[in-house]
Amino acid sequence: MAWRQMMSSFNPRTLSTPLHSFAGLATFSSKSAPRIVKVGIPEFLNGVGKGVEAHVEKLESEIGDFQKLLVTRTLKLKKLGIPCKHRKLILKYTHKYRVGLWRPQGVPVKS
């Protein structure tokens, strides 16, 4: 009975020190530090994978700039001879990149 009364009256906001700042308690994160990668057409297509990286030379020569790739439409990719499945992947990931939901993984630096 006394335990229930203590727990029902417990309010973490009334503590003078926050719970996470007690000595001896460490915070751990399973996420590693994000790798910053300069994104160009080759890095982008390698990040997408699934065979899309085969079109790197074609897209670099025709489009040239990564920012232009981000606003390229289906018809332009079709005229370049890129298959439908790869066009869909490129357009899907360019949209995700523009919105900020996806970025290509960084390549680990060899030491």
Neighbours of 43 (CB within 10 A): 19
69 vs 106, more confident: 69
pLDDT for the residue 1 = 63
Task: Evaluate whether residue 83 is within a structural domain.
Answer: yes
* Mean residue pLDDT across the chain: 80
Q: What is the pLDDT of residues 73-90, one digit of tens each?
A: 999 999 999 999 999 999
How large a percentage of the chain has pLDDT more than 90? Answer: 55
Task: Evaluate whether residue 79 is within a structural domain.
Answer: yes
Q: Classify 42 as helix, strand or coil.
A: helix
pLDDT for the residue 94 = 94
CATH classification of the domain holding 86: 1.10.150
CA distances from 29 to 26, 32, 38, 90, 109 (A): 10, 8, 25, 32, 22
Q: Phi then psi for 98, rounded to 5 degrees?
A: -60, -40
Task: Evaluate whether residue 60 is within a structural domain.
Answer: yes
Task: Evaluate whether residue 90 is within a structural domain.
Answer: yes
Average pLDDT value for residue range 44-73: 93
- Please state the domain count of the chain: 1
pLDDT of 39 above 90: no
Average pLDDT value for residue range 16-26: 56
CB 46 within 8 A of CB 107: no
Task: Evaluate whether residue 65 is within a structural domain.
Answer: yes
Cα–Cα nearest to 49, from 82, 93, 81:
93
Q: How far apart are CA 111 and CA 101, in angstroms?
A: 30
44 vs 6, more confident: 44
Please tell me what DSSP assigns to residue 100. Answer: T
